[in-house]
Structure 1
Amino acid sequence: MTAAVMTDRPAAYTPSANYQLSAAGLLHSEWTKLWSLRSTWIVLLCAALFGAGIGVATAATYSEGLGGIMNALDYTLFGVSLSAAFIAVLGVLTVTGEYSTGSIRSTMSAAPKRLGVLWAKAFVFAAVVAVLYAAVVFATFFVTQGLLSGTDLGGMSLSDDGVMRVLLGHVASTVYLGLLGVGIGAILRNSAGGIGFYVGAIMVLPNLATLLPWSWVADVVPYTPGNVAGTLTMLDTAGASLSLGASWLWMGVWLAIAFGLAGVLLKRRDV
């Protein structure tokens, strides 16, 4: 009798390959999770309003005197560069939000290999940011250059040399910083810690380091994660510390380090 009862018991559950999410399923899952969070809408709205708002406000209130000193593109798009901090914070929250609620356990149960979840999060996040910031950057450009067209600073057009490269560079640099936030969030798995690390180590520390009395610090700072994308947003790159090629190379290096470490820890640590 005992043997019969034991035989009839269901075996311990083992996830079947038939019930594991495919790559398309992971992407759909991450898309749903990203847009179901209220923080996604709030942060993206703040980033768009902040980036475009500063540019439009500065162009609308411009007074004569800067013509020949700086170009109209750099003058109106610096708000877009500042708003990238919102995107980096959202990148952190995209990962750490699941750890704070414990829903990461369900995610990893559906994708036991784990790494697919990280790549899906990164891909969906990058795609959303790229589309949003392309709209923000180009809308800001057209509005602000129209406002400046009658001033001594002069408006610029897409056909001007280097303009398209700079506009796309703003989009690329924002996507890069956002993905850096995703990597940091996956490494630290804590919202406050991830945001604090990004603000302190990525944004603030390199700038404070230039105050140190060592000459070699100034040579190192351009290669720090938060600064390597700067050349992409410059119309005149003659005085840039890094060339355009070097900027792309170091962006790839830092993302490889961040996601490589995140992937290793994701595989080794308990959920």
Structure 2
Amino acid sequence: MTAATMTDSPAIFTPRSEYKLSGIGLLRSEWTKFWSLRSSWIVLLCAAVFAAGIGLAVAATYSNVGDQGSIPADLRAEAALGTTMFGVALSSMFVAVLGVLAITGEYSTGSIRSTMSAAPKRLSVLWAKAAVFGAVVIVMYTAMVFVTFFAANALLSGTDLAGVSLGDENVVRALFGYVAMVAYLGLLGLGIGAILRNSAGSIGFYVGVIMILPNLATLLPWNWVSDVVPYTPGNVVNSIAYIDTSGLDLSYGESWLWMGIWLLVTYGLAAFMLKRRDV
């Protein structure tokens, strides 16, 4: 008597099409995860209060340098934006930290395994996280920047920085430049988090290497260092928030170009490492 042999190969389970995770479903998943975390609410609230609060406080306590109207219109607009939007640039640190936590939090808790099991195409998870995070930051900061602009203008009424309007040349471009600056730095933080996968290490790398090290490097006695520093990831955003970029190291277009290059490098490396690692 011979043992029966199985000639048919085992069937491969294929999920029904209605159960497959779509791009929209992945975006909804990341949206839900983002807003279900208490850290998202706390950090965004801190960023908004910090950015708007500093701008309004400075505008409310501003003392005239000269008589009203004594500053030329082009210089007045630049000075007014630089004064009232100072907090927006500083608040980018909050957003960058939130970008790091948006992805490293899943690695620290181990929930990233569930995410990758539900979405086997790993790169789509990275793109969905970046898309949701970027959209939230852009919408929030667009509203906050313009509200701060109008409120600060009202507080500056009667001073030598009064009279700046959205109709002035390149004012709207500069305001959106502040929004783009914060969004870029936040996405850069998320990309670094995707590469290092550790909250403390990613935040330390962002603060130490991206923000502080290039500025300290200018103290070195080598002329080429000063030529390179404007092209570092944390400094390429400087030009897009100015009304007049003629005297800056990078032009408006060059600033946008290098922002794109650094994001491409960061997310390219993150995507490569995401494909190569086990989880």
The TM-score normalised by the length of structure 1 is 0.93
Q: CA deviation at 1:153?
A: 2.1
Distance 1:188 1:148, change over 3 A: same
Q: C-alpha deviations, 1:180-236, integer Å up to 9, x for none?
A: 011000000000001000000111001101111111111100000001011001122
Q: How many pairs does the alignment contain?
A: 265
Question: What CA distance in whole angstroms lies between the structure 2 residues aligned with 1:64 and 1:14?
Answer: 74
Give the match for residue 43 of structure 1: 43
Runs of 4 or more off by more than 3 Å in structure 1? 11-20, 66-70
**Counterpart of 2:272 in structure 1: which amino acid?**
V
Q: Does 1:202 align with 2:210?
A: yes
Q: Does 1:100 align with 2:105?
A: no
**1:22-61 mapped onto 2 (5 Å cutoff):** 22-61=22-61
Q: CA deviation at 1:256?
A: 0.3
Give the match for residue 215 of structure 1: 223
Q: C-alpha deviations, 1:106-130, integer Å up to 9, x for none?
A: 0000111100000000000000000
Determine which of 83, 89, 104 is the counterpart of 1:81.
Answer: 89
129-138 or 15-24: bigger deviation: 15-24
Unaligned runs of 5+ in 2: none
Whether the aligned pair in 2 keeps the contact of 1:72 and 1:155 (CA below 8 Å) is: no
Q: CA deviation at 1:17?
A: 7.0
Q: Does 1:152 align with 2:160?
A: yes
Q: CA deviation at 1:173?
A: 1.0
Give the match for residue 201 of structure 2: 193
Output the aligned Cα RMSD.
2.0
Question: What CA distance in whole angstroms lies between the structure 2 residues aligned with 1:231 and 1:33?
Answer: 34
Q: What is the DSSP-based 3-state SS (H/G/I as helix, E as strand, rest coil) of the residue aligned with 1:240?
A: coil
Give the match for residue 148 of structure 2: 140
Question: What CA distance in whole angstroms lies between the structure 2 residues aligned with 1:151 and 1:226?
Answer: 33
Q: CA deviation at 1:32?
A: 0.3
Give the match for residue 120 of structure 1: 128
Distance 1:88 1:161, change over 3 A: same
Q: CA deviation at 1:16?
A: 3.7
Determine which of 182, 185, 190 is the counterpart of 1:182.
Answer: 190
Unaligned runs of 5+ in 1: none
Question: What CA distance in whole angstroms lies between the structure 2 residues aligned with 1:175 and 1:23?
Answer: 22
Distance 1:14 1:177, change over 3 A: farther
Q: CA deviation at 1:80?
A: 0.4
Q: What is the DSSP-based 3-state SS (H/G/I as helix, E as strand, rest coil) of the residue aligned with 1:221?
A: helix
Q: What is the DSSP-based 3-state SS (H/G/I as helix, E as strand, rest coil) of the residue aligned with 2:85?
A: helix
